Chains A and B, each alone.
Chain A
Amino acid sequence: MTARTTITRLPPGGDPAPGRVAPRARGRRPTFVTMALGLPVAFMAIVYAYPVGKMLMKSVTEPKAGFGNFTEAATDSTIWDVLWVTVRLSLEVAVLTVVLGFPVAYFLARTSARKARFLSLLVVIPFWTSILVRSFAWIVLLGDNGLVTKVLDPLTGDSQGLLYSESAVVIAMTHILLPFPILIIKGTLDQIDASLPRAARSLGAGPVRAFVQVYLPLAVPAIVSSGMLVFVIGLGFYVTPALVGGPKQSTIAVVIAQNVQVNFDWGMAATLATMLLVLATALTLVVRRLTKVKGLVSL
């Protein structure tokens, strides 16, 4: 009887090291993927990377080549004042948004899914509304005839509005940026097992201790990262300080605009923008390092 078995061969391990076979010519298949990446990259290079690169170049070429703009900025005390104002405003807003946002996030995470979905709309709708319109709203509210002024009038005995003050800028920016911490922290709290605090209480912890020692530590990464995100976004704010604030609330963005529109000093505008870009990028990378901020744009 002849064996019907056709092929027998040892596996590569048993073979005396099979040399690499000569590869055949590659098919044309990857071209679609290459094009799908190449075309967007080309588009971004022309209409995004090039303008930004051009701006960066201006900081060291205008009016003359060198780092003159940077030394000038570093030695100008008004620039330092502006930087301080910007950082201070952003810091205040970051703290306020987190402090106000956490209870809301906590509430949304603990309430029924149906209610949470409806109430989330109240957070998301302001988020979708133009920053310009929301700044305008605060002009109306904080102006001399505004609602807030009228409500506060009997309390302060002061009929002057808050408009064009640091408080006004902080309030308006807080309003604009508040959705960020709410949505980010809620996203994290949703992941926390709801039975955890209850488990802690069954082990003898009071409600406050259960919350502070068990629940809060799990939320800290989200709180910190959302605060830093608000801080970074706040650094670049232009419309709100320009409309709601006075000359004393000039942020770095306001000064950049002034350099272009009033002083016609493109070099200095580019220099300040470069500084802002570097600062914001560095901080963003730190935030991303600390925690992966997810679900932010899929609001």
Chain B
Amino acid sequence: MTEQGRAGRGAQMTDERPAGERRAETAGQVVFDGVHKWYGDAPAVHDFDLAIGKGEFVTLLGPSGSGKTTSLRILAGLESATAGEVYLAGRAVTDEVPEKRNIGLVFQNYALFPHMTVAQNIAFPLRMRRMKKAEAQGHVDRVLAMTQLTPFRDRYPRQLSGGQQQRVALARAFVFDPSVLLMDEPLGALDRNLRDHMRLELKSLQRRIGATVLYVTHDQDEALALSDRIGVMHQGVLQQTAPPDELYEKPVNSFVARFLGQSICLPATRVEQGAHTVVEVEGIAGRILVDAENDCSAETGGEFMIRPERIRIGTDRPDTAERNAVACTVAAQVYLGPQIEVHLRTEQGAEMQVIVPSAAKADYAAGSAHWLSWTARDCRFLARVN
């Protein structure tokens, strides 16, 4: 039914629209074009560009205060952009009031209307669109069934559990077929187990209704599990937007590397660039080979990065020349169930961690000497962003 609506609107469009709008239509369902937000003299969002395709699930991931919620609220119309344009389904909506934007927003605290029942809450957006009562009833029944809320239709929000409230908020946000579904930390208020469960439910629901989603969270597991693409935000700037695997494998700077997953980041300087990039790393003797492909714009003063699980640990120096190697002493080992985290120190005093499966049954006694090694493909030389 979304298709029909979109097609109908598309047919009426002419080419007299501004260039930005035409660009926006080809670029995606949601387009942020150079959006800035200043609170007085404090920048909250800086030159934010992002295009989201139809049916795509994009997550903004970042620490609190990084500007991700502000960006989302600018799209919803609850905050005004200081500069830049926002396009929704090919239409510039930057100056549009929230109620005209046709977006569904799931709030962090759900924002369910306490004086309305579940069914009334879900019917609210339909009633606001002047839909007939009987017709609205049908839509409400349909989404109630989809979210397994049918038995609770006449309850008030305060009579529901956290997970049920979350589902009501979700149902209310998509019952009217919004152009885009926005979610601001929707699982943040739930406890761990429920959160994992709702995550699966959320993803399968999104697939079924084919919704375009912009999701905001500070939880990297959530972002990795749900998203087609993740945008990492830091200090109001979108650092990198990429699919989860690429983001993990090829972070563009040390902030992204550190924020997503575990990483060892050490200050480094480039000394040679050719088929391979060669860097000198603080705390590691000798030179380290880094794949040329991993090159980045930082000329000097970048950081060397490697994921702890990509390091091989052994008692002997590896014999192949392709592998970077460094001699270390074990400082401690931490048993974590499925894996063991080994903390080591290089001769120059740099600290490294290695993660090995606990099934390996090896012993890393404190004080014992080991060799760490990795290939050029597994490590990176990155611009430093703290």
Contact = CB atoms under 8 A, between A and B. Distances in A.
Direct contact of A and B (CB under 8 A): yes
Contacts, number: 73
A12 B238 CA distance: 11
Given A12-B43, A21-B36, A23-B83, A5 B246 contact: yes
B366 interface: no
A25 B243 CA distance: 35
Contacts of B253: 8
A24 B310 CA distance: 48
Nearest to B43: A12
Interface string A48-74: 000000000000000000000000000
Contacts of B50: 7
Nearest to B78: A29
B34 to A, nearest CB: 8
Contacts of A26: 80
A242 to B, nearest CB: 49
B241 A3 contact: no
Contacts of B36: 21
B38 A5 contact: no
B46 A11 contact: yes
Interface in A1-37: 1, 3-14, 18, 20-27, 29
Interface string B45-73: 01101100000000000000000000000
Contact of B238 (A9, A13, A21, A23): A9
A263 to B, nearest CB: 58
Interface string B213-248: 000000000000000000100111111111100100
A5 B197 CA distance: 30
A14 B385 contact: yes
A27 B95 contact: yes
A24 B241 contact: no
Contacts of A12: 43, 46, 235-237
Nearest to A9: B237
Interface string B93-114: 0110100000000000000000
Contacts of A9: 47, 237-239
Contact of A13 (B38, B235, B243): B235
Nearest to B49: A7
A14 B385 CA distance: 8
A10 B241 contact: no
Contacts of B239: 8-9, 11
Interface of B: 36, 38, 43, 46-47, 49-50, 80-84, 94-95, 97, 231, 234-243, 246, 250, 252-253, 293, 383, 385
Given A7-B240, A8-B252, A9-B239, 8 more contacts: A5-B240, A7-B238, A10-B385, A11-B237, A12-B43, A12-B235, A29-B80, A29-B97
Interface of A: 1, 3-14, 18, 20-27, 29
6 contacts: A8-B253, A9-B239, A23-B83, A24-B83, A27-B80, A29-B80
